[in-house]
Amino acid sequence: MADIQVVVVGFGLAGRVFHAPFVSAVPGLRLAGIVQRKGDEAAAAYPDVPVLRSFDDALASNVDLVVIATPNATHYELARQALLAGKHVVIDKPFAGTSEQARALIVAAEAGGKIVAPFHNRRWDGDFLTLKKVLAGGELGRLVTLESHFDRFRPLQREGTWKESESPVNGLLFDLGPHLVDQGVALFGKPRALTASVRTDRDKTEIEDAFDITLHYDRLRMYCRSSMIAADASPRYLAHGTLGSFKKFGVDPQEPALVSGARVPGIGTPGEWLQEDRAAWGTMTVAPNPADPGNLLHREVRTELGDYRGFYANVRDAINGDAKLHVSAEDGFAVVRLLELARVSSKEGRTVEIDF
């Protein structure tokens, strides 16, 4: 079967770190173009890949898959145009700015017989894969609470970046919120209700720079939390069950490795991608006998290998008709809808029943 021809639109952090390297590393995909309106960074990084100076050039080309890695406010319109041009589409988070836009993209994709996939790559984080394995193993008993943090320390507003300019699709809620909420959906399905605080905590800011979202499930709560004022780390995950707890610090090492210049090996070629340092492994604390809760056992939990290549391998297989999308367009719609309802909950100061 011929390689799927891929064009990555945008060569900022998303295109440069999260998309082009992983498209290039997956057999069956060929990076056939990069849209960068100005600058020579894409040409320097990928000298054998054509650099296009406009989105229209990408749509006019014979590529099969368009990857939208542009500022958040442009995602919907560019994805819509690509679908209407007969292309498959991957959209960096957020999938869309509103649930209405997300539904429109799903309808357009279905009408054209194409796939549209939200880039919820954090399902392939090593820490998340480890958490899934821990929960599946049953050592914690019945899970009662799961706290998930994704924090930063940026106490001063950055100037000259679209990420901190005032817009309903910028800010932490639509930046890191999609990852945290999507992991909840992946683990437990759609919640029955949510309670949220979406706020501005810094002295000067044009964006939502902190949020706490509680996803309500039957006999389970998941707390999704993010802040730009977190100088010291909270656990990435803290899970409490009826038989014990699991705690994990640190985030997946793939992004910092790529920012530092690491190269992603092709699937099947020598070279491991990417083992986390042992110092960041999680810890399990369990009571072998619940009747004797003071007798606890502690052990390290080795972090599973994170690998964003898995996202694009699944997209390849879905386009070829060999698999279903692991992260579906309906998942993208659900996440955007939950983020919308988080704002409603925060503004009105109440728990919101979920209506999809």
Local confidence pLDDT in tens for the 356 residues of the chain? 799 999 999 999 999 999 999 999 999 999 999 999 999 999 999 999 999 999 999 999 999 999 999 999 999 999 999 999 999 999 999 999 999 999 999 999 999 999 999 999 999 999 999 999 999 999 999 999 999 999 999 999 999 899 999 999 999 999 999 999 999 999 999 999 999 999 999 999 999 999 999 999 999 999 999 999 999 999 999 999 999 999 999 999 999 999 998 999 998 887 778 999 999 999 999 999 999 999 999 999 999 999 999 999 999 999 999 999 999 999 999 999 999 999 999 999 999 999 88
CATH number among 3.40.50.620, 3.40.50.720, 3.40.50.2000, 3.30.56.10, domain 4-122+312-322: 3.40.50.720
What pTM, to 2 d.p., does this model score?
0.96
CB 173 within 8 A of CB 205: no
Other CB atoms within 10 A of residue 223 CB: 17
Nearest to 23 by CA among 13, 34, 36: 34
The H or E element spanning position 221 is strand 220-227
Question: Are the beta carbons of 325 and 314 closer than 8 angstroms?
Answer: yes
Q: Find out whether 284 and 244 touch, Cβ atoms under 8 Å.
A: yes
Write the DSSP symbol of residue 162.
G
32 vs 285: CA distance, rounded Å: 49
Domains of the chain, by residue range, sit at 4-122+312-322, 125-309+338-353
- Looking up tokens 């960068």 gives 36
Question: 94: cis peptide before it, omega within 30°?
Answer: yes
Q: Looking at the domain 125-309+338-353, which fold is it?
A: Dihydrodipicolinate Reductase; domain 2 (3.30.360)
Unique residue bearing structure tokens 């502690």? 298
